[in-house]
Amino acid sequence: MWLITFTFLLGFLGMLSAQIVSLFALLPYLLAFYLMTVRFVKVNKILPTVTQRWQLSLGCTTIFWLYSILAGIIGLLMTQGHIDFVALKQAFSNIIFVIIFLGIFFILNAFLVVLGYWFLGNPTAKMLAHYHKS
């Protein structure tokens, strides 16, 4: 829920301030991931296993992409009133564009997943030690 809330809230703020919109792009992901980790540590009182680290990281990244795509479509509809599917078809018929687009997508996605996986390691261990002092 944090990811959805932050994505829409900061997406709206980014829409109002076009010059700094790139600063808001990953902020919902980072905030939601941090809050999700805090909740995991408080509720479970353990570090996530390797499988749980991958699942949480991939899940949060997938939700981020789905809501980012939805926000992009809503933004297009709000600003232009329609989506030009002919232009999209032309863009995606160019193989160079598709390769660059997918390359950027997979690099950014890999970065987010690895960042999330890393954060669920040592930083989460420190968080666990802070919240559950023995």
Per-domain boundaries in the chain = 2-131
Tens of pLDDT along the chain (134 residues)? 666 676 667 666 666 665 555 556 677 778 878 888 888 888 988 999 999 999 999 988 888 888 778 877 777 777 777 788 888 888 889 999 999 989 988 898 898 899 899 999 888 988 888 877 75
Task: State if pTM tops 0.75.
Answer: no
Within 13 A of 88's CA, how many CA atoms are on the CB side? 6
Amino acid sitting at position 35:
L
Alpha-carbon separation of residue 93 from 86, 90, 96, 97, 134 (angstroms): 11, 5, 9, 8, 60
